[in-house]
């Protein structure tokens, strides 16, 4: 069982930066692939970024490549999402997920989810 708590959201102007954190409690955090998803009002939840259990592999949605960076600190049971060059289209609730593998985390069953943190980017 893993519990996830996101933080770091807020209101920022376009072009600004935010760093989201996802703190995990429970056992075996370092064995899970981790991911960030987001959901804008009236839209489906969408994949943003994922990182392997070791941190050695990452993947990103095309919409955030070059602007967002995912990282993790297994000693602190925390995964981060550094968001630079924010645009209004990034406005959403951002969710952290823990799952079995880099390419499947957040899809199907056997995932853990946080409650989300709101990110609002003003133009």
* CA 36 – CA 80 distance, rounded (Å): 9
pLDDT in tens, 25-74: 988 888 999 999 999 999 999 999 999 999 999 999 999 999 999 999 99
- pLDDT value at position 54? 94
- pLDDT value at position 107? 87
Task: Give how far Cα 53 sits from Cα of 16, 65, 79, 90, 95, Å.
Answer: 29, 20, 10, 26, 18
* CA 91 – CA 120 distance, rounded (Å): 5
* CA 22 – CA 10 distance, rounded (Å): 15
Contact 18, 27 (CB under 8 A): no
pLDDT in tens, 69-118: 999 999 999 999 999 999 999 999 999 999 999 988 888 888 999 999 99
- pLDDT value at position 81? 98
- pLDDT value at position 27? 80
- pLDDT value at position 53? 94
pLDDT at 12 over 90: yes
Who contacts 8 (Cβ-Cβ below 8 Å, separation ≥6)?
18, 19, 20, 21, 117
Angle at alpha carbon of residue 100, lines to 98 and 106, rounded to 5°: 50
- pLDDT value at position 108? 80
């Amino acid at each position: 069982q893993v519990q996830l708590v996101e933080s770091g959201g807020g209101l920022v102007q376009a072009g600004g930066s935010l760093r989201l954190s996802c703190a995990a409690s429970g056992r075996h955090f370092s064995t899970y692939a981790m991911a960030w998803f987001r959901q804008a009002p009236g839209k489906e939840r969408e994949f943003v970024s994922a990182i392997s259990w070791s941190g050695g592999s990452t993947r990103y949605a095309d919409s955030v490549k070059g602007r967002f960076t995912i990282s993790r600190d297994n000693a602190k049971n925390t995964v981060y999402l550094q968001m630079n060059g924010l645009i209004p289209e990034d406005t959403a609730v951002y969710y952290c997920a823990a799952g079995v593998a880099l390419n499947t985390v957040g899809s199907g069953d056997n995932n853990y989810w946080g409650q989300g943190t709101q990110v609002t980017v003003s133009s």
